[in-house]
């Protein structure tokens, strides 16, 4: 399971609950990047994703399910997750998390607190300034403006059972 979407839309809340419900390995890019920063890496973006791909591959080969929590703003990052899954003989489900209510999205961004020591959360302007390539790949779209994280996970699991 690969979650994608802008910061503040609810990806982490959904991903954590989804990983718990599936008994899956949870890989969060923010945690990996923050660990790299603490180690002295000044630009952890590509490195963080590379580490996550490796961890995902190891766990998929062990037969574990993986839930990847990342913005995944570029086609290349999303394609890399698909390649990791294919090489491990697994399916890859892309889930785009959106918050269609801009006022709610802004509220979430302005009121959330970092849960990773040292992690600096982006503000609204930084979120909008981050380049994001439109997602055109087949995916499940979940709108967290109209459903809770638990309802989002229920919808994801129902879609998985149908496919």
Kindly list the structural domains of the chain, giving each domain's residue range(s) and its CATH number in brackets, ordered by start.
2-162 (3.40.50.300)
Q: What is the pLDDT of residue 110?
A: 97
Is the pLDDT at 42 greater than 90? The verdict is: no
Question: Which of left, alpha, beta for 69 (phi over 0: left; psi -120 to 50: alpha)?
Answer: beta
Per DSSP, the residues of 90-108 read ----EEEEE---HHHHHHH
In sequence order, the 6+-apart residues with CB closer than 8 A to the CB of 152 are: 10, 14, 97, 142, 144
- Mean pLDDT of the 25-54 span: 95
- Mean pLDDT of the 20-26 span: 98
The answer to whether 1 and 91 have CB atoms below 8 angstroms apart is no
Kindly report which listed range (80-84, 104-108, 130-134, 159-163) carries the lowest average pLDDT score.
Answer: 159-163
pLDDT band at 138 (very low <50, low <70, confident <90, very high): very high
Mean pLDDT estimate for the chain: 96
Pairwise CA distance, residues 114 & 78, whole Å: 25
Q: What is the pLDDT of residue 15?
A: 98
- Mean pLDDT of the 122-126 span: 97
Query: E strands of 18-132, at which residues?
Result: 25-28, 66-69, 94-98
pLDDT band at 155 (very low <50, low <70, confident <90, very high): very high
Model pTM above 0.75 = yes
Q: What is the pLDDT of residue 45?
A: 84
pLDDT band at 107 (very low <50, low <70, confident <90, very high): very high
| Tokens of residue 34, six digits | 């923050």
Report percent pLDDT > 90 for the chain.
96
């Amino acid at each position: 399971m690969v979650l994608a979407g802008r910061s503040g839309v609810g990806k982490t809340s959904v991903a954590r609950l989804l990983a718990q419900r599936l008994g899956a390995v949870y890989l969060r890019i923010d945690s990996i990047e923050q660990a790299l920063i603490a180690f002295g890496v000044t630009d952890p973006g590509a490195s963080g994703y590379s580490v996550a791909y490796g961890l995902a591959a190891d766990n998929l080969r062990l037969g574990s399910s993986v839930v990847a929590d990342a913005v995944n703003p570029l086609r290349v990052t999303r394609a890399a997750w698909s390649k990791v899954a294919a090489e491990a003989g697994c399916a890859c489900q892309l889930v785009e998390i959106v918050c269609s209510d801009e006022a709610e999205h802004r509220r979430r961004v302005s009121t959330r607190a970092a849960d990773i020591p040292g992690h600096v959360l982006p503000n609204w302007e930084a979120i909008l300034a981050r380049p994001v390539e439109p997602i055109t790949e087949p995916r499940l779209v979940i709108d967290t403006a109209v459903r809770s994280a638990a309802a989002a996970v229920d919808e994801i699991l129902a879609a998985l059972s149908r496919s």
